[in-house]
Every structure is written in structure tokens, then in C-alpha cells.
Chain A
Amino acid sequence: KQEVTQIPAALSVPEGENLVLNCSFTDSAIYNLQWFRQDPGKGLTSLLLIQSSQREQTSGRLNASLDKSSGRSTLYIAASQPGDSATYLCAVQGGSEKLVFGKGTKLTVNP
């Protein structure tokens, strides 16, 4: 059974800092991995989708990498801003078509 772990559970950084969020998964037979952002009381917004054949994806200040063989992904946020404060979730999708989520990293960027 696929399990997704995100470390750390919470992170607090000063504005302007570059940071890395980690995601690991136990079964490397995945179709894709997605990173989401969730603001308090709101739904999830997709940030990046990495196919199993890809190594990384970039969108603005965000860069996500995928190492399928080791079961790891990282989300790199450059020059963090207070507006980046949210919970970041990673999710993997495998052959069963089910999406399995990690429990998230709650990020606080202090002005």
C-alpha cells in the first residue's frame, strides 16, 4: 500500500529565504506526482504535476523534482514571500488510479 510522507510537518522562515519541502513515497510504481497548495478553509490548488518519466517541473519561483527510484520529490521555493504561507501537499498517483496524499507541510513566511 502506497504511503506518502512529508517532512517537516511545519516550517517557519523569514521572507526572502529559499526553501525546500520534502516528499517521500514507498512504492516507486507511480504515474505522476503532484504538488498542491491549500490555504486555510479553502480547496486545493495544483502547483506542479510531474510525470513519472520527468525529472523536474518549474513554474515561476517553484521547482519540483522527482527521483522515482529513491521514492523522493522536493519542492523548491525561491525568494519566499508572506503570500506563500499555506499548507503544501504532495500526492502520488499509481496504477490503481487512486491519488494518495501526504499530510502536508505547513509553511509560514514571516515578513
Chain B
Amino acid sequence: EAQVTQNPRYLITVTGKKLTVTCSQNMNHEYMSWYRQDPGLGLRQIYYSMNVEVTDKGDVPEGYKVSRKEKRNFPLILESPSPNQTSLYFCASSFLASAHTQYFGPGTRLTVL
């Protein structure tokens, strides 16, 4: 089944404890991206990747890192999480950056205490 998977689905952590949220797609997509969704602010793009080893900042990249060493995986890294990073995170992928449907993962709900 074609899908985007994220792990973990739920995570409660404490300020400053490094964490990684994994994202994997099995559709051989070139383009992958990360979003956060907050009440009243909607979905905002954190980082995106056009291809392996190519990443770029979205609208809210501060406090996040990403890497794209393999086409199928695009992990989101929070080196020193803070409470303002408490949010619902989505990973998405598409065949190419433009003109193609975006497929979203199920989301990761992160709480930073």
C-alpha cells in the first residue's frame, strides 16, 4: 500500500531532550516536506527537500533540523525542544515538487513540557 508513515505518533518529552521524528514513504517520491499545525495558525511548512541531499527552509525552520540521506526517509530533528514546539507535525511527499498531489502522513502529536 502506498503510504507515508511517521513515528512516533504521540510523544511527550521535556525541554532540551533531543528527539527525532521519522518519516518514510514507499512511493519513490522526490519531494518531501514537514509541516506543523497549530490552532489558529493553520499548517505551516518547516522544511522541504527536492531530492536526496537537497533541503531548504520553509516558513518556520527555527529550532528544527532535517536530513535527506535516502530518497524514502526524511527525519525531523529537534536538537533542544522547547514548549513552543508543542504541536501536531505532518510529513508529506509527492512525486515532484510541482504539479503533483501531496500525500500526507498520519501526524505526530508532540508535547514538550
Number of A-B contacts (CB under 8 A): 62
Q: What is the CA–CA distance of A1 and B76 in the complex, to the nearest angstrom? A: 25
Which single residue of chain B is at the shortest CB-CB distance from A45? Answer: B104
Chain A residues touching B, range = 20 to 34
Asked whether any CB of chain B lies closer than 8 Å to the CB of A21, the reply is no
**A36 partner residues in chain B, CB cutoff 8 A:** 102, 104
A81 at the interface (CB under 8 A from B): no
* Nearest CB on B from A60, distance (A): 16
* In the complex, chain A residues whose CB is within 8 Å of the CB of B81: none
Which residue on chain A has the smallest CB distance to residue B91? A43
Does A44 lie at the interface of the complex (its beta carbon under 8 Å from any beta carbon of B)? yes
Most A CB within 10 A of own CB, among B48, B50, B90, B101 = B101
User: How many of chain B's residues have a CB under 8 angstroms from any CB in A?
Assistant: 28
Whether A42 touches B98, Cβ cut-off 8 Å, given contacts A98-B59, A102-B42, A103-B42, is no
B6 to A, closest residue via Cβ? A43
Q: Closest A residue to B109 by CB, please name it.
A: A41
Q: Are B42 and A97 in contact, with the CB atoms below 8 A?
A: no
User: CB-CB < 8 A to B99: which residues of A?
Assistant: 31-32, 49, 51
Nearest B residue to A94 via CB reads B98
Interface residues of B (CB under 8 A from A): 4, 31, 33, 35, 40-45, 48, 50, 56, 58-59, 90, 92, 97-107
Interface residues of chain A, those whose CB is within 8 Å of chain B, are 31-32, 34, 36, 41-46, 49, 51, 89, 91, 93, 97-104
Closest 4 CB pairs of A and B: A103-B42, A101-B43, A43-B104, A44-B104
